[in-house]
Structure 1
Amino acid sequence: MTLQERDKKHIWHPLKQHQTHPNSLGIVKAKGCILTDEHGNEYIDAISSWYTCMFGHCNEYIIGKVHQQMQQLDQVMFSDFTHPAAVELSEKLMAILPQNQAKIFFNDNGSTAVESAIKMALQYYFNKGDQRTTFIAFENGFHGDTFGAMSASGLSVYNGPFEDFLINIHRIPVPNGNNHVEILQQLEAIVNNNKVAAFVYEPLVQGAAGMKIHNADGLDAIIKFCQSNNVLTIADEVMTGFGKTGKYFASDYIETKPNIICLSKALTGGMVPMAITSCTQEIYDAFLSNDIAKGYFHCHTYSANPIGCAAAIASIDLLTSEEIQKNIQRVSRSHVEFGEKIKTHAKVKSTRNIGVIFALDLDTNMERYGTLRDLLLSSFMKEGVFLRPLGNTIYIQVPYVITDAQLEKVYTTIEKVLNQL
């Protein structure tokens, strides 16, 4: 019996309608940019397994650091103890995060990093005797699947059955370079008529919305307005963080820095799950009190797991290395060249890129989340490239270690499949 057949007996996969899509491909090996299935077929992982394995699968440097840690300390509860890996990771993060960040709180995944940020914002004001119940978020944003993170998300395909249970969110358009005056007017009305705790946003790139890129100056104006009106700002860098936009963080493109930052995915190079919510000293200080109830009583059993911390330390070492920084620039230049070539294709409506992120929208009337998406996915896989379209958007987010030949195959595969549509 194949792995695929055994899988169907007991496993419920995420983001999948099993009635119409019952099969899941069995992957048994991964190295660098290559995934190998149970039949020996190879696929270039052109989306870094949901933007996690940015330094390549089974990276030897990360494996080495994790192996060392496994022999020293595997797990210890983090409420009463600390350990060298957590302390070193905090120091390495503070060296690359925006300078206004001062404290880090450990979580398990991107959703819980955002969930923690939302709870921090609510309790920040609660501790000050100012109870606030409203948040601001972008239209079509995505921040995760736990209830607070889901509330901030604006994609109804994820939230539909739960709308009646979500926290109060006011949505604003993303800045496009021409509309920030109107957005600021909308923000003013929201702030004047609601007790707003925070603005939650994906900086510069909305991932699940189709890798939509928005205007940095307009976003800066929004953040400035919020902070000047005593509204906290929460940057969800789960997808954008750790080099994907060409800088360490998307927030590095923006003059006004967020009060809180959410991190996960590439934090550990895809080796193990881990997430972090960082914040300013001012936010942390609001939880200091002789009143125990003003402490932040939010906890994950595997908070600051030493093995995860070791993987994250190794990932930051790689990220800040000259080799990886050169690779990021190399991939970014290649995306620009490919964009110039493919934008004139008859099936292409628009293209965009930033750092190692590239996206194109198809000019087609085919059903966005049905026939077209399935056709594209299967066509790419037949060519040995794993690309997972977001509706009529094809996007690339390759590992930094991809070779020029592998990257060229990704490009030529996209072009070949478009020619077959």
Structure 2
Amino acid sequence: MPLLFPKLPVHQVFGANTDVGKTLLTTALIRSAASRMQGDGKIFYLKPVSTGPESDSDEAFVRRHTSPYSHIVNTRCLYQYREPMSPHLAAQLAPDLPFPKSNDVLARGVQDYIRAASLSGPGHVFVETAGGVHSPALHPPHTQASSLRALRLPAILIASPHLGGISTTLSSYESLLLRGYDVAAVLCLHDAYYRNDDFLRPYFTERGIGFWDVARPPEKRGTVDEDAARLGEWYASVEAEVDGEEGGGVGGAVKHLEESHDARVKRIEGMPRRTLDTVWWPFTQHGLVNREDQVMVIDSAHGDHFDAYYAQASMAPDSSAETEGGEQESLLEPYFDGAASWFTQSHGHASEPLTLAAAAAAGRYGHVLFPSGTHAPALELAEKLRSTVGKGWADRVFYSDNGSTGIEVALKMALRASGRRYGWEGEIGGDVGVLGLRGGYHGDTIGAMDATPASTFNTAVDWYKGRGHWFSPPAVLVQNGVATVSTTAPDSWAPLPSSTPTKDGWEFSFGSLGAVYDLTARRASPMATYYCQHIRSTLERLVSEGHQFGALVLEPTCLGAGGMVFVDPLFQACLVDVVRASADLFSGEPDGKAYDAALADLGERDSAAWQGVPVIYDEVFSGLHRFGYHSAASVLGTTPDISVYAKILTGGLLPLSATLASRSIFDAFLSERKVDALLHGHSYTANPIGCAVALKALEMIADAEDANTWAAPKADWATERWSFWRKAFLDDVSRANGVRGAMAMGTVLAIELQDAEADYASHVAQAFLDRLRAQRVDGFRIHSRPLGNVVYIMTSLFTPEGTVRAMEAAILRELK
């Protein structure tokens, strides 16, 4: 819920503690801003929550003491409770008074007030919080700083002039900083005895933050009218007086706030051109993306949304910065991060627990080297991964920087293990390949690219060779309300009994998606035998042609960047089984009877010992609950020998990858010679900050599972494979005109649009997303990136149900 109006500076006033003069100085700022007003415009004061008698409320105080400017000053309190105590307690003692059902509702009320204020033209808005930075919000455990974070209004911090005030002020400042606030100015009442300003002034000015030491008001004495007169004289003096070393006024502060606001607006509006002039984007043809109105400026992000600015030309007419009537529109709008920031986001942007975990580890370690050493975050994360996604099979955890490098590590592990077993160990320039799936994508480093077939991603890379064979996987799709599995070219598929022939093979219908993913029943079906025969005969042909393989690399369940293709889980399970049972082929001694025996004995296999060739699960995108499960082993019914996790591993906050390996893979590198070790590493291996964040991210997932957080969507699907997107919605989408089919699982929704050019070069999905983005959906817009003719949108693990329902309605409107 971002707000940035070109001619309306909006600031949120925080106190370092109670009784620091927050309301007193806010009133001074209002009077100073009012005195600077020329022509039309108004000053707005908002107190979101106040406690105590209304006659003694902060709003009443501001209203009384801004009376000389009453014609342009507007004041309001959203929620006033009678008892002078913490807001969450005062609200409980006043059940007859209005009470917002959540802190988000309160934030929306603040947003609505500011939007209404923007209709009055230029001016100022001051939003005063209650108590200190971490005074409780209406709904614990949130505090003032966190409950209004979605608005991210520039902050004014009122420092404490009292004994101990330096500590509370710096703690408050750091708390705001950790939560993503910009602190625009710090004000402090002057105290000649404690002189906190002597320390605070240089502390803040060295950090580029304006500091104002304001003269103290007169002590209360005499009658109420006499006291009010003296306070009025004090206000008159400080509202225009410039800051002084021994306590001055706030006039300079208001000027500073206005200049900072203008600079922020100018900076944001100038960022598209500066970016086009300096940045080389990934996966972007700059010959096509070269206008300022094509650049999304992300000013901040919170929860599921970007707070972003688009130059006016690219958006609908209602989003211009100023309408014909002179009314202002916010430069910033919230955009739902439908691409999950390239598949990384899962816990929401700026997640407070993850941010604090990162800060704690940064303060304790920074980064430290890892070879032959250890530290608590790395050790505890390795133990956690072994006991969760690696339970029952993983023995070791190798850390690297990101998903692509994690795959590089996995390939080195697998190929070395195969080489030692089958006799090509240490062969430089060898031509060993991998087995995988057509449409798979494992990253953009050279080794990871070579483990995928030729595609738009790698054919323009001069060193790309493409080492291996890739099966065309049968895909799962809901078409016209029916769950189907269908084959695609270029594999030559024999007819499947009871299937419907297609130009690329066949299509088979199921009674439900649950039936597709019920491998307990399907493993005994004729289709399983059919898959195994197809895979084995293909391998026999490849080996007879002289091909040699050292690993099977799979993206379980879904090929992400390859087009969000949901692969038939039975085919992947059969592929793993056949590869593991085909040691005769990989050793160069084909033996059908040995294969049959090995296939029959797979149920008794030792999960710590690899067979055939090592099996790698690339769960960089799909693992850790992206698809509603912790590990794909629970879907395919079989564990890997090596698996790779990244992206969601840290909740999307930091780059970190973990490659897990079984004991038999690890043993392949053991010897007395250094050259036999896994000679791979990264300067930031096992970065303590990333490991600490990953631990917290996994803890948050576990807590959500224990609390049955996802009970409602699970009940809607009533099957082990479930989604945050409703079952009925998926059915409706699959029946829409122009839709070939759709799928949803966990956080992911994928819609395949009909297009003759149905690959990465298609533009139909981008056109659909452009139209979808032009809609305002419950106060936000939807942003995502296309995959050719496939539209995909992902939620986080904690996206509110109402947000998902609103997006479902918008998608159906656009499809119809």
TM-score normalised by the chain length of structure 1: 0.94
Distance in 2 separating the partners of 1:353 and 1:367: 20
Shift of 1:283: 0.4
Q: Secondary structure of 2:459's match?
A: helix
Aligned to 1:202: 555
- Paired amino acid for 1:373: A
Distance in 2 separating the partners of 1:243 and 1:205: 13
Distance in 2 separating the partners of 1:175 and 1:79: 43
Q: CA deviation digits over 1:320-362, x for unaligned, max 9?
A: 1235863386281533221012222112111122222221211
Distance in 2 separating the partners of 1:367 and 1:18: 23
Aligned to 2:686: 304
Distance in 2 separating the partners of 1:53 and 1:213: 20
Aligned to 2:297: 26
Please list every run of 5 or more consecutive structure 1 residues that lacks an aligned counterpart in the other structure.
none
Contact 1:385-1:413 at 8 Å conserved across structures:
no
Distance in 1 separating the partners of 2:739 and 2:633: 30
Q: CA deviation digits over 1:51-93, x for unaligned, max 9?
A: 2110111111111211211111111111132100000101111
The answer to whether residue 739 in structure 2 is matched with residue 348 in structure 1 is: yes
Q: 1:147 to 1:366 in 2, by over 3 A?
A: closer
The answer to whether residue 466 in structure 2 is matched with residue 153 in structure 1 is: no
Contact 2:724-2:804 at 8 Å conserved across structures:
no
Contact 1:34-1:43 at 8 Å conserved across structures:
yes
Q: Secondary structure of 2:383's match?
A: helix
Match of 2:728 among 329, 337, 350: 337
Larger radius of gyration: 2
Matches within 5 A, 1:188-267: 188-191=540-543, 193-228=546-581, 229=583, 230-267=612-649
Please list every run of 5 or more consecutive structure 2 residues that lacks an aligned counterpart in the other structure.
1-268, 310-330, 425-429, 476-484, 486-526, 584-611, 714-721, 776-780
- Equivalent pairs: percent with the same residue? 27
> Which has the higher mean CA deviation after the structures are superposed, 32-41 or 189-198?
189-198
Shift of 1:396: 2.1
Aligned to 2:750: 359
Contact 1:124-1:283 at 8 Å conserved across structures:
yes
> Which has the higher mean CA deviation after the structures are superposed, 166-175 or 212-221?
166-175
- Paired amino acid for 1:281: R
Q: Secondary structure of 1:159's match?
A: coil
Aligned to 1:389: 786
Q: 1:114 to 1:325 in 2, by over 3 A?
A: farther
Shift of 1:129: 6.8
Q: CA deviation digits over 1:239-259, x for unaligned, max 9?
A: 101101211022321122111
Matches within 5 A, 1:75-154: 75-98=367-390, 99-128=392-421, 130-131=423-424, 133-154=432-453
Q: 1:129 to 1:138 in 2, by over 3 A?
A: closer
Distance in 2 separating the partners of 1:367 and 1:124: 39
Q: 1:134 to 1:105 in 2, by over 3 A?
A: same
Aligned to 2:465: 166
Distance in 1 separating the partners of 2:372 and 2:711: 40
Q: Secondary structure of 1:36's match?
A: strand
Distance in 1 separating the partners of 2:615 and 2:763: 39
Aligned to 1:377: 769
Contact 1:148-1:167 at 8 Å conserved across structures:
no
Q: 1:20 to 1:407 in 2, by over 3 A?
A: same
- Paired amino acid for 2:539: L
Shift of 1:364: 3.7
* Larger RCO, structures 1/2 (Cα 8 Å, 6+ apart): 1
Contact 1:199-1:234 at 8 Å conserved across structures:
yes
Aligned residues: 419
Aligned to 1:269: 651
- Paired amino acid for 2:534: E
Shift of 1:285: 0.9
Distance in 1 separating the partners of 2:640 and 2:554: 10
Q: CA deviation digits over 1:135-160, x for unaligned, max 9?
A: 11111111110111111223510111
The answer to whether residue 805 in structure 2 is matched with residue 408 in structure 1 is: yes
Aligned to 1:6: 274
Aligned to 1:51: 343
Q: Secondary structure of 1:200's match?
A: strand
Contact 2:439-2:563 at 8 Å conserved across structures:
no
RMSD between superposed Cα atoms in Å: 2.1
